Amino acid sequence: MEYNTQKMRMPLPEYGRSIQNMVNYALTIEDRSERQRCANTIIDIMGNMFPHLRDVPDFKHKLWDHLAIMSDFKLDIDYPYEIVREDNLHTRPSVLPYPQTRIRFRHYGKTIEKLISEADKLEDGDEKNHLVALIANHMKKSYTTWNRDSIDDEKIDNDLRDLSRGTLRLNDAILKIMNARVSQYQNRPKNRNNQRRNYKH
């Protein structure tokens, strides 16, 4: 018994062994016109395998590229498109630059550090207190996402002071705003769509 693992490795296995055998047969045809007709038939069969991709731009072009790849670029026919070059198949893409910015507390993320920097620029008052309360509540949420340990306001206050280099602290006004927002979130309806409405007839 012959297993597929013992057969020649296929360049594009998604088309299956039968299509690959057709391509291999086309390579043996000596008459050029007959070889061209065989290639056209193979392209039609390949296209019928993926009917949902017919409207994709350049779909037919890609099929001819795949035919060239499966023939190891040895199929001598008139291609209706400029096919992909063999040396372009193995070119590696250029390396994308990755930001190397240092994050002091990774579980809080870079966005928190940016928000703290913006809050530090504000003058003392309600606007600053509300922003710091928003930051602190988000820090709590981020901390509990990555750590199973419970967290208290003192821990948040210490981390906030550390991240802001001592310029931001949790005072009574900020703690009051934080608690009010948490209570508002906890007391809101779970799903407004489930609430029954009474209509007068």
* pLDDT tens, residue order, the chain (201 aa): 555 555 677 888 999 999 999 999 999 999 999 999 999 999 999 999 988 888 888 999 999 999 999 999 999 999 999 988 887 776 677 787 776 677 788 888 888 999 999 999 999 999 999 999 999 999 988 888 877 777 888 989 999 999 999 999 999 999 999 988 888 877 777 665 555 544 444
Give me the amino acid identity at 9: R
pTM listed for this prediction: 0.47
Q: Which residues contact 19 (CB under 8 A, 6 or more apart)?
A: 42, 45, 46, 49, 70
Domain ranges for the chain: 9-88, 109-189
Give the C-alpha separation, 158 to 153, whole Å.
Answer: 9
Both tokens assigned to 157? 């206050």
